[in-house]
Amino acid sequence: MGCLRRVLALALLLAAGGVGYLYLQDDLRGWWDERFGVAHAQLDGPELADSTMARIARLSSSPGSRIALSEKELQSLIDHRYRDMVPPFLAAPRVGVSEGRVRLSGRVSTAFIEEYVDLGDAAAFLPDTADVALRGHLIPAERGRVGLAVEQVTAARIPLPDRLVARLLRSAGAGSDPALGADVIPVTLPEPLESAYVHGDSVVLTARS
């Protein structure tokens, strides 16, 4: 008899859960989409940037809450809202996120590289621009800021010498905050954000508490 009662109780709970889901499925999906950006996958360009900015702005009404931004959403912000966060020498910037790392790539003029490295006669045979990419991870900083700790910089997939890397990073702002280190580019987060970190292939933003 006791076993039968437990089975009946479980059946009732499942039935209640099913009914609850039927009534709340739209709200639950909305919550999931809001937190993880699923509903924004069909947007692109400025519209996606506007939608992502709206998600960030809504965090101000929920201190300490978090949202996860996909690579596509991050790219829309770089293209349409925060181009000034990218080092000025990097043209056509692209952002990538995977396995806990951030990758920022773009094109750098050969003339800019010549300011730091004597290319000699080889400069005459080089194209006007070269593909450059940097890889790093986010580290915490003071409230409202994070640091991009750069692990590697490559040109045409070839690691650049340390001397050139150091100069490139300085031109991008690395070392401007002694508390972060010489190879860390400080990044100021927009309101109402307090911190950011990479989780898998997303960047998780946390609202100020």
Cis peptide before 127 (omega within 30 of 0): no
User: Residue 46 corresponds to which tokens in the numbers above?
Assistant: 């400025």
> What is the reported pLDDT for 184?
95
The predicted-structure confidence for 10-51, as pLDDT tens digits, reads as follows: 556 555 555 444 444 444 444 444 455 544 557 889 999 999
Asked if the model's pLDDT at residue 6 lies above 60, the reply is: no
> What is the reported pLDDT for 38?
47
| Residues 182, 171: Cα–Cα separation, whole Å | 12
| Residues 59, 49: Cα–Cα separation, whole Å | 16
Kindly state the DSSP code that residue 128 receives in the 8-state scheme. Answer: S
User: Residue 170 corresponds to which tokens in the numbers above?
Assistant: 């300085």
The predicted-structure confidence for 105-123, as pLDDT tens digits, reads as follows: 999 888 887 777 676 666 6
What's the average model confidence in pLDDT over 62-80? Answer: 94
> What is the reported pLDDT for 128?
87
Cβ neighbors of 34 (< 8 A, separation 6 or more) are 55, 58, 67
Percent with pLDDT over 70 in the chain: 76
pLDDT band at 57 (very low <50, low <70, confident <90, very high): very high
- E strand intervals along the chain: 66-69, 91-98, 101-109, 129-140, 145-155, 158-159, 184-188, 193-199, 202-207
| Residues 77, 50: Cα–Cα separation, whole Å | 9
Cβ neighbors of 177 (< 8 A, separation 6 or more) are 141, 147, 184, 186
SS3 44: coil
DSSP string, 68-110: EE-HHHHHHHHHHT-GGGS-TT-EEEEEEEETTEEEEEEEEEH
What's the average model confidence in pLDDT over 50-57? Answer: 94
CA atoms in the 13 A half-sphere facing the CB of 88: 4
CB 56 within 8 A of CB 205: yes
User: Residue 59 corresponds to which tokens in the numbers above?
Assistant: 């965090």
| Residues 182, 10: Cα–Cα separation, whole Å | 60
Computed over every residue of the chain, the mean pLDDT equals 82
Cβ neighbors of 200 (< 8 A, separation 6 or more) are 98, 99, 100
What's the average model confidence in pLDDT over 166-171? Answer: 87
